[in-house]
A and B are shown apart, each in its own frame.
Chain A
Amino acid sequence: MTQTELDLIHRYLNGTIDEAHYVRLQAVLRDNPEARRLLRALSTVDAKLQDLAAANPATMQAFNATAVSLRTITDRILWLRRLPWLVLASASMLMVAAIWMMGKARSSHDGYIATLVFADACEWQAPVGLREGQRLAAGSLRLRRGMAVLRFDSGATVVINGEAEAELRSRCSALLQRGAAVVCAANESAGFILQTPASDVLDLGTEFAAKVEPSGATEVHVLEGQIAYRKPSLHGRCDDEPAGELLSAGQAVRYDHPETHTPRNVALNATRFEQLLQQAKFEPHAGSLIAHEPFAYPAGKLPPLQGNGGTGWAGPWQRAPWCKVSKNLAGDLSIVVSPFKMPVPPSGESAHILEAFDGFQTVLRRFARPIRMDRNGIYYMSGVVRWEAVPGQIVAGSQVRMMLRASADLMGEHLLLNLPSHLHPQIQRRPNEVYTSPSTVPVNESQLWVAKIIAQQNGGDEMHFRIYGEDETPGFIEPATWHVSVRGFRSDARLDTLGLSTYFGTGRYWFGDVRLGTHWRSVVPAPRMNAAKNVTHKEGNT
């Protein structure tokens, strides 16, 4: 082995190898058994160091700027969620396995572990200025008053109600230091661990409440399913730790003091997740709707310049400058009364929608309050879209789109939602940067398209896109699952133009009720939110 060949192996293990060196490394590995032996031996060193580092928070604290340590969790806890057998296993084995995996876990790529999906009259002490929709990293959370719903990336949903102090530790664990919380971790999000000063509580696919008094006295109430609990222990390997105890629905225990070793039984006295949410106010926040186009124009042809209804717009609709005007329509838009079942309730007596065929191409409209991707902000966009076509006969290349562009550079950077002919929803940032969902959606139904955009001043922007079909009800809080998500990109664009587009149009298309806002509830209409309360927290996980 030459030093150069050895360097190739180290670059490979460091994850810093480029394509050219990769080709050379492959040639070396293919022909040289000693190189392969060395790679396996150095990989063993590498795996051991990862193992030791994950189980050694004290050492990591020496480098506190980078030490995320046990507060962050890892993809490896996913093992727990993806092993249905573990839910059936004994509580003790499950507790050992869960904490063992958590202790060795790795952090998510962007450092975020949860999302604040709902906040009602919240007054935060820390972090200051938390906003609904905001992604949360590991760290402290202090709520002075109000109700907050957090969705952890593992899928577990936690309601904090009233004065509370907590520490978000990982995508599937949190420490409740004071206050009350209800944890709902159904099915595959089972395995969420809520730590308290007196006990660790492992959710086995259920719903439970925990209350921690200022003295540290702690109560755990099981509202549904089963939990396992045990004295706190999160340091080091847990193979030798004592087993956890099981507690089933209807049971509750109390530790009168954090040092109490064995809790006593108490009567169940906790409010269920749904009941808590029913106490909350779901009206959209005042001023959270940036722009709204209900297409409440008289049915018939509509010259674009007369398309200036709705709220929050800086001008009327106009055809995109790159469009060739159809002879049939002479540039007019076409408004019809919707003959379809609409996924959102109409603003007036009947829903008017924009017909988009016969050479429709692209229409644009500027909104007054731009989306600044160079500043911190959270935005949502929704719109009704219907594409009628014969399945199996959709011409390749045809597609329907909603997009956000910059009026200063219409052909420049953009954020685009697309349903192409293969019917896999897509997000596009640039012509050659397309992200495609593994799922397909059907045509011939009225869909509600919803997108979430997280703009970050220092990069790490995100965009998520979900299509709701006619048989799906959007929840009153944003979904746990999106059709396609893009994270970690950087954009400084100033997006102030909405576009609706059909491309190589085959079939017939309609658009309706387009909204832009800063909250989920400002773009997902209220009547459906109430209907969805019962199902929201039971949605699947990303």
Chain B
Amino acid sequence: MRTFVEPVNNTTAPHAPHEDFLRLFMRHEAELRAFVRACLPCAADVDEVMQEVSVAAWRKFSTLTDPSMFARWTCVIARYEILMFRRRHARNRLILDEDIIEKLADEGIEEIPLRHAQLDALDHCVAKLPRERRDLVLAAYAPGTSIKDLAAQMNRTEGSLYQLLSRIRHELLRCVERTLAQGA
């Protein structure tokens, strides 16, 4: 049986396939989630597609010959699962047209190394946010948070809170771009 070991986790013992898969999936999950997120507007939909992707990727894992291609390989699977999801739900939800999803996905697959770098840079950029803003944005993105409730707690309107979150998100992106430009 073929086994492979991630370079950073180099050990002498070969891993069982499920361990290899789990390690690779956990390592690249954030890139994959970002990839899916661009194509689907609702976090619950992203979760559903991520489940389908994880199951499909595991089933096909034995066909992956080069583990260094895992991220790209799972993105190709995700592209298919997103399109399948769209066909199931397009009638009752706002989901991007198929040709746009294909463009977003095809271009996104080519950006995998960039996505990885962006995610790394974001650790630094989020840490640099003023404490108040960081706490706010993490509270807003926390599981189960209602933006309406959070806005009420802050004596703001829901719309103004969304605007503030959009500004923070954009600030973070500018920080990422600066960080990557400096490192280039």
Partner-B contacts on A (CB < 8 A): 6-7, 10, 12-17, 19, 22, 26, 29-30, 33, 36-37, 39-54, 56, 59-60, 62-63, 65-69, 72, 74-76, 78-79, 82-83, 85-86, 88-90, 93, 96-97, 100, 105-107, 109, 111, 239
Contact = CB atoms under 8 A, between A and B. Distances in A.
Interface of B: 16, 18-19, 22, 26, 30, 33-35, 37-38, 41-44, 47-48, 50-51, 54-55, 58, 94, 96-97, 99-100, 103-104, 107-108, 111, 115, 118-119, 122, 126, 134-146, 149-150, 153, 162, 165-166, 169-170, 172-173, 176
The 6 A-B residue pairs with the shortest CB-CB distance, nearest first, are A107-B144, A68-B144, A63-B139, A53-B141, A10-B166, A43-B38
Nearest to B117: A44
Nearest to B42: A15
Contacts of A106: 43-44, 47, 143-144
B114 to A, nearest CB: 8
Contacts of A49: 126, 137-138, 141, 169, 172
B121 to A, nearest CB: 9
A68 B34 contact: no
8 contacts: A6-B170, A10-B170, A26-B97, A41-B118, A63-B153, A66-B139, A85-B18, A111-B144
B84 to A, nearest CB: 16
B104 to A, nearest CB: 5
Name A's interface SS: helix
B34 A48 contact: yes
Contacts of B16: 89-90
Given A43-B34, A45-B173, A72 B97 contact: no
A59 B141 CA distance: 11
A41 B176 contact: yes
Contact of A66 (B107, B118, B149): B149
A29 to B, nearest CB: 5
B51 A60 contact: no
A67 B142 contact: yes
Contacts, number: 201
A47 B30 contact: yes
Given A36-B103, A53-B141, A72-B143, A93 B18 contact: yes
A12 to B, nearest CB: 5
Q: Which of B141, B143, B169, B172 has the most CB of A within 10 A?
A: B143
Contacts of A109: 44
Contact of B30 (A36, A48, A59, A60): A48
Nearest to A239: B26
Nearest to B94: A22
A86 B162 contact: no
A67 B145 CA distance: 6
B39 to A, nearest CB: 8
A19 B169 CA distance: 23
Contacts of B96: 26, 29
Contact of A82 (B30, B42, B55): B55
Nearest to A97: B22
A14 B18 CA distance: 36
A48 B127 CA distance: 12
Contacts of B107: 33, 36-37, 40
B34 A40 contact: yes
A69 B138 contact: no
Contacts of B37: 43-44, 46-47
B38 to A, nearest CB: 4
Contacts of B145: 60, 63, 66-68
